[in-house]
Amino acid sequence: MSLLELNDVRKTFGAIEALRGVTFSVEAGSAVALVGDNGAGKSTLMKTITGVHRPDGGEIRFDGDSIVGKDPGEIREAGIEMIYQDLALARMRDVASNIFLGRELTRSVLGIRLIDTSRMRNEAEAMIARLGARIPSVNQLTGQLSGGQQQSVAIARALTFNPKLVIMDEPTAALAVREVEHVLDLIRTLKRDGISVILISHRLTDVFSVCDRVVVLRQGEVIADDATRSTSMNAVVAHIVGAHSEQAS
């Protein structure tokens, strides 16, 4: 049984068929790339998996249970975390505060609940160490970090929920080459720890570096679903632009 299973998932917005029978799966501890041109349906699909949109048809099962109809909070509790491209970090707050943002650790003093800053810093340091992230201090303002370091903070924050699947939306966009490799190392760390990853990316070099499979969406349909070792960048590009279907016609 796969960790995440989508079967014939459909979503329409008025006359627009955003998803037209999407079927694919994600195995535990694997990384699957989701690629496609703008408007292919990637964002709609991710919002449907995470409960922002409810599918109009089909089935989505996670860890054996249907998650159709559950709200985003319930799906997060089930073990799915989404890291959006903008990261949604509070850049004027320090790293530890961002990692626990909205779920701050507390302690009781004379019956009053107070934020446990010391414990948050210690646990943030442990999370950063687990990832092998290159962050100088959890006390540093997040806005002072590089793009790759901010990705590390976003991933560390996602891990505080103990997810089984992390969805990452263009995590290496606009990063320098050295920082790209650092983010790819973070993805490898997640896989090593048994956490599955869906990587949405336009950078096929990244896809072939860390992903086990690549799923190509085109106009709301899965055009290809191949092991990265058995396909090529040229073949994936041809699927994305529709060259194969044009040749067939």
20 Cα distance to chain centroid: 22
**pLDDT score at 244:** 56
End-to-end CA, the chain: 37
Whole-angstrom Cα distance, residue 109 to residue 40? 53
Residue 171 has which token pair? Answer: 């995590």
Q: What is the pLDDT of residues 226-236, one digit of tens each?
A: 999 999 999 99
Contact 169, 191 (CB under 8 A): no
193 Cα distance to chain centroid: 15
Q: Which residues contact 58 (CB under 8 A, 6 or more apart)?
A: 6, 7, 8, 9, 10, 21, 22, 23
Mean pLDDT for 68-76 is 94
Q: What average pLDDT is seen over the chain?
A: 92
Q: What is the pLDDT of residues 109-139, one digit of tens each?
A: 888 999 899 999 999 999 999 888 889 999 9
Torsions phi, psi of 198, nearest 5?
-110, 120
Q: What percent of the chain has pLDDT over 70?
A: 98
C-alpha closest to that of 103 among 86, 81, 84: 81
Q: What is the pLDDT of residues 79-117, one digit of tens each?
A: 999 998 888 899 999 999 999 988 888 988 888 999 899
Q: Which residues contact 84 (CB under 8 A, 6 or more apart)?
A: 169
Lowest mean pLDDT among 6-15, 48-57, 163-172, 174-183: 174-183
Q: What is the pLDDT of residues 170-219, one digit of tens each?
A: 999 878 888 999 999 999 999 999 999 999 999 999 999 999 999 999 99
Residue 120 has which token pair? Answer: 């948050």
Answer yes or no: is pLDDT of 245 > 60: no
Q: What are the structural domains, with CATH classification, of the chain? A: 1-79+164-249 (3.40.50.300), 87-162 (no CATH)
- State whether the Cα torsion 120-126-132-134 is positive or negative: positive
Q: What is the dihedral of CA 120, 124, 127, 133, to 10 degrees?
A: 180
Q: What is the dihedral of CA 98, 102, 107, 111, to 10 degrees?
A: 150
Q: Give the gyration radius of the chain's Cα atoms.
A: 19
**pLDDT score at 248:** 44
Q: pLDDT grade, residue 247 (50/70/90)?
A: very low
**pLDDT score at 103:** 85
Whole-angstrom Cα distance, residue 108 to residue 114? 6
